[in-house]
Structure 1
Amino acid sequence: MAAPQPPQLTLFPDPPLLTDDEDTYNAKAGDTVIAQQKFIPEINYALTWIGQQVSAVDGYRQSAATSAGSAADSAGAADSSKKAAAQSALDATSNGKAQVDLAKNQVTLAQQAATAAQSAAQAAGAAAGLPGGRVPFTVLQINSAGNVSWGDGLIDKTSAVPGQALMLGTGKTPQWAFPGQQIGDVLISARNPGALYLPADGGIRLQSAYSELFAKVGLIGGGVGLSWPEVDSGGPSGIGNNSFGASQAGTVLATFNGTASLRRSTNRGVSWATVALPNSNINSSMDTDGQGTWIIAGTGTQLLRSTDDGQTWQPVTVTAAPSGYTWNRVKYCGANTWVVGSNGGSGQGIRSTNNGASFGAIDFGHGGATIAIESNGKGVMLAQGPNLRKSTNYGATWVAGPTISGQAISISTDKNGTWVLTTGATSNGVYRSLDDAMSFSVFPVAGYSTGPFWWVFIAYGFIFVRRSTVDAIQKLQVYIGNGVWQNVNDSVLVNGQGSGGFQIVDAGNGVLVGNSQNSNGKLVIATPQFPYDTSTQFALPLINATSGTAAYIKAKELA
Structure 2
Amino acid sequence: MAATTPIPLLPDAPSRSDGQAEFTAKADPFIAALPPMVVNINSRLTWIWEQVTAVDGYRQAAAQSAADAQGFAGSANTSKNAAAQSATDATNNGKAQVDLAKAQVTLAQQAATAAQSAAQAAGAAAGLPGGRVPYTVLQINAAGNVSWGDGLIDKTSAVPGQALMLGTGKAPKWDFPGQQIGDVLQTSRDPGALYLPANGSIRLQSAYPALFAKLGLIGGAIGTAWADYDYGGIATNVIAASLGGTVIAWQSQTQVRRSIDRGQTWTNITTPSLGANALDIKTDGAGTWIISSAATVSPFQFLRSTDDGQTWQLVTVPATSSGAGGSWTKLLYCGGGVWLATCSYGLTMLRSTNGGSGWNTVTHGYSVSNPPIAFEANGAGTVLIIGYDGTSYTVRKSTDYGASFTNFMTLSGQGPIIRTDGQGTWIIGLNGVNALRSFDDAATPAGFAPITITGGVGNSADILFVSGLTLFMFGGSGTRVIVQNANGSFSPQSTASNVTVKFAYAGNGTIFAGSATANRLSRSLAQFGYDTSTQFAIPNVQTAVGISAYIKAKELA
Give the superposition deviation at 1:457.
0.6
The residue number in structure 2 matching 1:16 is none
1:216 and 2:217 aligned: no
2:494 corresponds to which residue? 489
Give the SS at the match of 1:444. strand
Report the counterpart of residue 350 of structure 1 in structure 2. 351
Unaligned runs of 5+ in 2: 1-56, 71-121, 388-394
- 1:477 aligned to which of 476, 482, 491: 482
Shift of 1:46: 7.8
Alpha-carbon distance in 2 for matches of 1:160, 1:41? 41
Q: Distance in 1 between matches of 2:419 and 2:63?
A: 80
- In structure 1, runs of 5+ residues without a counterpart are 1-38, 53-113, 123-130
The match for 2:271 is 277
1:315 corresponds in structure 2 to 314
Structure 2 residue corresponding to 1:459, chosen from 466, 486, 489:
466
Q: Does 1:530 align with 2:525?
A: no
Q: Return the offset for 1:206.
A: 2.4
> Separation in 2 of the partners of 1:449 and 1:294?
32
Query: Alpha carbons of 1:350 and 1:454: their partners in 2 closer, same or farther (altered >3 Å)?
Result: same
Partner of 1:339: 339
TM-score by length of 2: 0.63
Paired position in structure 2 for 1:28: none
Residue from 177, 180, 183 that aligns with 1:182: 180
In 1, the alpha carbon distance for the partners of 2:453 and 2:291 equals: 37
How far apart, CA to CA, are the structure 2 residues paired with 1:199 and 1:340?
45
CA displacement at 1:531 relative to structure 2: 0.9
**Offset, 1:504:** 0.7
Contact kept, 8 Å, 1:409 with 1:421, in 2: the verdict is: no
Distance in 1, Cα, partners of 2:484 & 2:410: 21
Deviation for aligned residue 1:464: 0.5
The total of aligned residue pairs comes to 426
Contact in 1 for aligned 2:375/2:386 (Cα 8 Å): no
Q: Secondary structure at the match of 1:329?
A: strand
Query: Offset at 1:373?
Result: 4.9
- Residue 330 of structure 2 is aligned to residue 325 of structure 1: no
1:247 partner amino acid: S
Contact 1:422 1:455 in 2 (8 A): no
CA deviation profile, 1:473-518 (whole Å, cap 9, x unmatched): 4442212202222111345335xx6xxxx21111233221011235
Alignment of structure 1 residues 82-97 onto 2, 5 Å: none
Offset from partner CA, 1:69-90 (integer Å, 9 cap, x none) = xxxxxxxxxxxxxxxxxxxxxx
Q: How does 1:127-526 map to 2 (within 5 A)?
A: 136-140=136-140, 154-170=152-168, 173-237=171-235, 239-240=236-237, 243-256=238-251, 259-270=253-264, 272-279=266-273, 280-290=275-285, 292-298=287-293, 299=295, 301-307=300-306, 309-322=308-321, 323=323, 324-332=325-333, 337-343=337-343, 344-353=345-354, 355-356=355-356, 358-361=357-360, 363=362, 369-374=371-376, 379-380=380-381, 382-386=383-387, 387-391=395-399, 395=401, 405=411, 409-415=416-422, 417-424=423-430, 429-433=435-439, 440-442=447-449, 444-445=451-452, 447=454, 453-467=460-474, 469=476, 472-490=477-495, 492-494=497-499, 502-518=501-517, 520-526=518-524
Letter in 2 for 1:382: V
**In the alignment, residue 428 of structure 2 is paired with which amino acid?**
T
Structure-1-length-normalised TM-score:
0.63
SS of 1:198's partner is: strand
Structure label with greater radius of gyration: 1
Determine if contact 2:464/2:472 at 8 Å carries over to the other structure.
yes
Deviation track 1:321-363 (CA, whole Å, cap 9, x = no partner) reads 434433333345566x25131224334323253x55x224363
Question: 1:137 is paired with a residue of what secondary structure?
Answer: strand
Cα separation, 1, equivalents of 2:169 and 2:258: 42
Inter-partner Cα distance in structure 2 for 1:176 and 1:208 = 26
**Are 1:43 and 2:61 matched, yes or no?**
yes
Match of 1:285, SS state, is: strand
CA contact (8 A) 2:376 2:418 kept: yes
Preserved CA contact (<8 Å) 1:422 1:454: no
- Distance change >3 Å, CA 383–CA 148, structure 1 → 2: farther
Distance 1:449 1:246, change over 3 A: closer
Distance 1:208 1:408, change over 3 A: farther
User: Secondary structure at the residue paired with 2:211?
Assistant: helix
Q: What CA RMSD, in Å, does the superposition of the two structures yield over aligned residues? A: 4.3
From the superposition, tell whether residues 456 and 51 of structure 1 become closer, same or farther in structure 2 (CA, over 3 Å).
Answer: closer
Following superposition, the deviation at residue 319 of structure 1 comes to 3.7
Whole-angstrom CA distance in 2 between matches of 1:436 and 1:540: 30
In structure 2, give the amino acid aligned to 1:137.
Answer: V
Structure 1 residue 226: Cα displacement? 1.2
Alpha-carbon offset, residue 385 of structure 1 = 4.4
Aligned mates of 1:526, 1:448 — CA distance in 2: 19
What letter corresponds to residue 532 of structure 2 in structure 1? T
The 1:423/1:225 distance shift into structure 2, 3 A limit, reads closer
Contact 1:294 1:306 in 2 (8 A): yes
- Asked if the contact 1:219/1:460 (under 8 Å) is kept, the reply is no
Please give the alpha-carbon distance, in whole angstroms, between the structure 2 residues aligned to 1:493 and 1:362.
38
Distance in 1 (alpha carbons) for counterparts of 2:145 and 2:247: 53
Q: Which amino acid aligns with 2:247?
A: V
Percent identical: 39
Q: Is the 8 A contact 1:319 1:359 kept in 2?
A: no
CA separation of 1:47 and 1:186: change in aligned 2, threshold 3 A? closer
Secondary structure (helix, strand or coil) at the match of 1:223 reads coil
Rate the CA distance shift 1:448–1:515 in 2: closer, same or farther, 3 A: closer
CA gap 1:195/1:48 in 2 versus in 1, 3 angstroms: closer
| 8 Å contact kept, 2:58–2:66 | no
For the residue of structure 2 that corresponds to 1:43, the secondary structure is coil
